[in-house]
Structure 1
C-alpha cells in the first residue's frame, strides 16, 4: 500500500508501548547484511544488550531455549544467530499487534486520508 508502512506501523506501536518488536525485526534485517565479522560481533552484542538479555531496555518476548541459543552464539555471532528470535517476534506482530493496527482509529484515519488524497502528516 505504501513504502513507509513499517514506520507508520512503528508509530502505532509506540502508542501501545510495544515498538520494541518492529525495532528488533528491522535491526535484524540490517544485521543480516553485515559482512564484516568485527562489525557483526559489535552489532550482535548491541542487539543482545538492547533486546535479548533479561531486563534489557527493550526486551522482546522470546522463550528460554531461543534466548539460550543466542547466548551460545554470542562468542562467534553468525548472520543467522537472531533468525529464530526474529521469526518469533514476527509471529507475535502478525497474530497480535498488526491485526489491532488494521482495526485502529490510527490506521482507519490514515487509510481514509490516502483514499481521499488528504495530507498524511496530520494523522495522529
Structure 2
C-alpha cells in the first residue's frame, strides 16, 4: 500500500521540486519558441499577408517562376496598382493590363473563364477603378487553392521562413 510523499526523505522531495522547476522553465522557454515560430510561419501561411510582405512576396514570386505561373502574381499586382491609378490614366493602364494578361495573344495570359474575360473586354470602352476586380479575385482564388499550398511545402517557403 502506498504511503504517499510523506514517506520519502526530505532530500528527495527537495530534489524533485528542483527538477520540477527546471522542467517548468524549459517548458516555458519551449512554448515561447514555438509561439514565435508559429507566428513567423503564419505570416507566410496566409496568402494575403504573404503578398504584403517583401520577403514573402519575393519567395512566392520565385516559386511561381519555377512553376512557370508567375503571370498570376504579376497580374494580381498589376490589378492592385491599377486600383490606385488616377482616373485620367485608367484607360491606358487598362489596355496595358488587357494586352499583357487577358488578350488571347497576351505574352503572360492568365487563366480566366470566358464570362470574366468578356466582361473585362467590354469594360475597356469605359474603364473604372474596379474594372479588374472579378478577374483579380479569380486569379487570387486560383493562387490560394493551387499554387500557394504547393509553395508551403517548397524549399522557397523554408528559405523565406529562415529569412524572417
TM-score calculated relative to the size of structure 2 = 0.65
Distance 2:84 2:121 in 1: 21
Q: Tell me which residue corresponds to 1:81.
A: 131
- The correspondence for 2:74, drawn from 16, 20, 23, is 23
Q: Trace 1:93-108 onto structure 2 (pairs within 5 A).
A: 93-108=143-158
Q: What SS class does the counterpart of residue 106 from structure 1 fall into?
A: helix
Q: Which residue of 1 aligns with 2:93?
A: 43
> What per-residue deviation string (whole Å, max 9, x for no partner) do you get for residues 8-52 of structure 1?
211111111100001000110010001232x11001000000000
Q: CA RMSD in A?
A: 1.4
Runs of 4 or more, structure 1, over 2 Å off, are: none
Distance 1:28 1:83 in 2: 8
Match of 2:121 in 1: 71
Return the alpha-carbon distance in structure 2 between the equivalents of residues 28 and 110 of structure 1: 25
Point out the structure with the larger helix share.
Answer: 2
In 1: Cα distance, 2:95 partner to 2:78 partner: 12
Distance 1:106 1:7 in 2: 9
Count of residues in Structure 1 that have an aligned counterpart in Structure 2 = 113
1:114 corresponding residue in structure 2: 163
What is the DSSP-based 3-state SS (H/G/I as helix, E as strand, rest coil) of the residue aligned with 1:58? coil
Structure-1 separation of matches of 2:61 and 2:97:
18
* Rg larger in structure: 2
How far did residue 75 of structure 1 move?
Answer: 0.8
**Structure 1: distance between partners of 2:126 and 2:58:** 31
